[in-house]
Structure 1
């Protein structure tokens, strides 16, 4: 936990309401997100029990599995879910533009789940359905494997820092508000929103205590409340199992199950849309649109891959592919952290507290300074001196950039400690044009206030990795090309 977040949590306790830890919204919120609230059966590996799903607050669709241990009913649920999800995805596959030399749909889908466990459900459910056969024994509806491939894609995007294709509401809210409770307690969506938006006449702690009552606010899934399981759900499933298939008594049993499960899902459904409304109140950060464009490009590319008959995602990556993916994720995480810091002074304050950035005022400028480069030629390298009261823990030789001059590279030449801060000498190395004397405005002026940071998006190098066919024997040797087989469909739901 950062120093700023810790301080904000203390302030939240004192004020009895959550405190903002961001001045802008750092994720894209779609105009028409698909809210998905799943429930699973306790004691079963990812066995779907019910779900509320839909892209409009007043039109939720309730999906129920009356007997979750029944394979046929589970895949009937998957087919119903595919109707909703694939239909939603298809609605974005229309008008397109060219961006960065690639065809890109003008919009992209966004799925919102209550918490990280909901993301886990999406991942496992996708893995459990994308290999299923539409012919032979245990055949499933044609849209079930397609649903699995899309859910797997969404789960992979959720692991990509900055992506907004699949988001867990509790994590997004935690990025923007600090409550007066622990991070574990923030995993309870009702308690978290109780702190952020307490009802009239209630404080954040009071609203959070109300959220601990499962009768008022059932768990946000995928797990259910044990008391509900024992006293309501288990008897209802037994009652259903004891009825004659197709009989009026079975229809009544199904309706009772639907009502019971709806009572567990509907409060979370309302919380999800309330969270969406609160996020929309924040202005999007400057870098959010660029990340959403990347999400659109990825969505377009995967849609084209499916249309062209691409194979399902393999169960696991080869050693080289896994290493490359890990490096991409690490670089994406750093780029996301940097973008958030440049977008938001409160996020940058975390780096200032850690000594990775400093607020400063320019006290001296040597605009026409010339030095010899590696070839012995004289080049213009202005030198500026800045005074900062922040802890300047950046060592000489480090590259830094200013928030207001992100394209201008500067290098720390010296750090001279002062009684209240430090004087930092910086050599300006770019962003001045080609003139011998830098034009006005291209070099910071005396009295100008800047924030310099050493947290830069290109500080993680890409390692040199062999081609996949050169994978060493210590890592399994060259991977065999993935070819779908009948064995893939035997994967269990876990």
Structure 2
């Protein structure tokens, strides 16, 4: 836990309400998100029990599996879920734009992309298991399923994969994104309870955050947000309802199970939409749009892959694919951390405390300072900044500034709370700096060693050249009947 986060938690305890730890929102919130709240059978890894899903807070659709151990009913549930999710996903595939590239051919990109919101991180994991359990199903042969089921599985797997990408907003867990913007007076483990977290952030009138969080611990008032259910509910309500269906699988028995599940899902449904409203009320960070553009590009590429008849995602990556995925995640994490700091003074304050950034007032400037002679003579303006921050940057360190995109500087020297910087980038191509390129005396500036410059991908061999130490070249993946035999549990 960082120093500022610890301070925010202490203030939350003192004031009885969660404290903002960001000044802007660092995720995209769609105008029409799809909220998906799944429940699973206790003791099973991926046996769906039911779900509440929809894009309208006032008109959710309830999906029920009256006997989760029945394979046919489970796949019927998957088919019903596909009826809701697939048209929603397809609605974003129709409108596209042409994107021009500096190098290479222009390409088409969807104007918008779908966004799925689930209540918590376990729901993300369950979504992945559900996708893995359905994307290999066959539409013919033994145990055939509706053609929409394997397509649903591929999309659920895709969204789950994107959820692991730092900065992606295609699949959001409400507890994660709320916790990234507010600090409560409870532990991180307790923040995983959506009802308690929302209680701290937005307590009911006349109630403090701690009191609202305490009330959220009562499963009768606020059932677990899933996918696991409350043991008391399982034993006293759900179990008898499922046994009644087994004894007499009638419409009345199905409705009994549906009513039981509705009582567990509706409170979480309201909380998840409240989380969406709380996030939407925050101003969006300036670089959120860039990350959403990347999401739209990824979505478009997957649409094209499906349209071209590509196979479903393999069960596991090969050695080269796994290394490439890990390298991509590391670059995305580094870039996301930098972008958050550049967008948000409160996030940047963490780096100012550690000496990786500083803020201060410009006390002197030499905008027409040059280095070198003859043809090697270059414009290198100098500025002096006075700061009270603990700076731990050595001379020669390359810095960026959140106030000026594309601006770069280099540390020349530090003495007595004053730092001399040499501007090396972002001045224009003339013999004099472009207007506003060099900070003027009296101007407040911020510089940091964090930079969001483009990073090239790691050099990896082709999969066919995988060394024997990593298993050798992998066999070409092709879906088979063995894939369809994968168990749900």
Q: For the superposition of Structure 1 and Structure 2, which TM-score range results when normalised by the shorter chain?
A: over 0.9
8 Å contact from structure 1 (residues 239, 253) kept in 2: yes
Secondary structure class of the residue paired with 2:363: strand
Greater shift after overlay, 115-124 or 98-107?
98-107
What residue in structure 2 maps to residue 217 of structure 1?
222
- The aligned counterpart of 1:441 is 436
What residue in structure 1 maps to residue 324 of structure 2?
324
Q: Deviation of residue 491 (structure 1)?
A: 1.3
Q: Is the contact made by 1:41 and 1:47 (CA closer than 8 Å) also made in structure 2?
A: yes
Mapped partners of 1:209, 1:459: distance in 2 = 46
1:102 equivalent in structure 2: 107
Compute the TM-score of the two structures, normalised by the length of structure 1: 0.95
Distance 1:441 1:58 in 2: 51
Matched residue SS, 1:427: strand
The equivalent of 2:5 in structure 1 is 5
Q: Which moved more, 1:117-126 or 1:363-372?
A: 363-372
Q: How do 1:331-342 residues align onto structure 2 when only pairs under 5 Å count?
A: 331-342=331-342
What whole-Å deviation, never above 9, does each CA across 1:212-241 have from its counterpart, x for those lacking one? 000000000000001111111111111111
In the alignment, does 2:201 pair up with 1:202?
A: no
Query: Who is 2:89 aligned against?
Result: 89
How far off is 1:254 after superposition? 1.2
Could you tell me which residue of structure 2 aligns to residue 124 of structure 1? 129
Q: Which of 390-399 and 268-277 deviates more?
A: 390-399
Q: Does 1:407 align with 2:402?
A: no
What per-residue deviation string (whole Å, max 9, x for no partner) do you get for residues 436-494 of structure 1?
33344321212211010111124866432222221110011111211111111111224
Aligned residues: 484
Deviates more, 1:300-309 or 1:54-63: 300-309
CA distance in 2, matches of 1:372, 1:464: 36
CA distance in 1, matches of 2:459, 2:112: 35
Aligned to 1:79: 79
What is the aligned partner in structure 2 of residue 388 from structure 1? Answer: 387
Q: Is this contact kept in 2: 1:331–1:457, CA < 8 A?
A: no
Which stretch shows the higher mean deviation, 319-328 or 118-127? 319-328
Deviates more, 1:291-300 or 1:75-84: 291-300
- Post-superposition CA distance 1:390-410 (Å, at most 9, x none): 110122221111111221111
Partner of 2:25: 25
Which residue does 2:299 correspond to in 1?
A: 299
SS in 2 for 1:207: helix
Question: Are the aligned partners of 1:410 and 1:427 in contact in 2 as well (CA < 8 Å)?
Answer: yes
Give 1:82 deviation, angstroms: 0.7
Alpha-carbon shift at residue 423 of structure 1 (Å): 1.5
SS at match of 1:195: helix
Find the residue that maps to 2:50 and give its secondary structure: strand
Superposed CA RMSD: 1.5
2:159 equivalent to 1:154: yes
Which string of whole-angstrom CA distances, capped at 9 and with x for unpartnered residues, describes residues 15-50 of structure 1?
100111111111111111000000000011211001
Q: What are the Cα deviations for residues 409-437 of structure 1, in whole angstroms up to 9, with x where unaligned?
A: 11112222x3xxx2112111111223333
SS at match of 1:154: helix
| CA deviations over 1:367-400 (Å, ceiling 9, x no partner) | 3322239x98222222222111011012222111
Q: Which runs of 5+ in 1 are unaligned?
A: none
Equivalent residue runs for 1:321-470 within 5 Å: 321-372=321-372, 377-416=376-415, 418=416, 422-458=417-453, 462-470=457-465
Q: Is the 8 A contact 1:331 1:458 kept in 2?
A: no
The Cα of 1:161 is off from its aligned counterpart by: 1.0
Q: Show the counterpart of 2:468.
A: 473
Structure 2: runs of 5 or more not aligned: 101-105
* Helix, strand or coil at the partner of 2:188: coil
Distance 1:91 1:461 in 2: 34
SS across alignment from 2:425: coil
Residues 21, 176 of structure 1: 8 Å contact kept: yes
- Cα deviation, 1:231-274, whole Å, max 9, x if unaligned, reads 1111111111111x4xxxx2221111110110000000000111
Alignment of 1:233-244 (within 5 A): 233-243=238-248
1:364 alignment partner, SS class: strand
More displaced stretch, 387-396 vs 91-100 = 91-100
Q: TM-score, normalised by structure 2?
A: 0.96
Does 1:489 find its partner at 2:484? yes
- Partner SS, residue 464 of structure 1: coil
| Alignment correspondent of 1:253 | 253
User: Whole-Å Cα distance in 1 between the matches of residues 444 and 122 of structure 2?
Assistant: 44
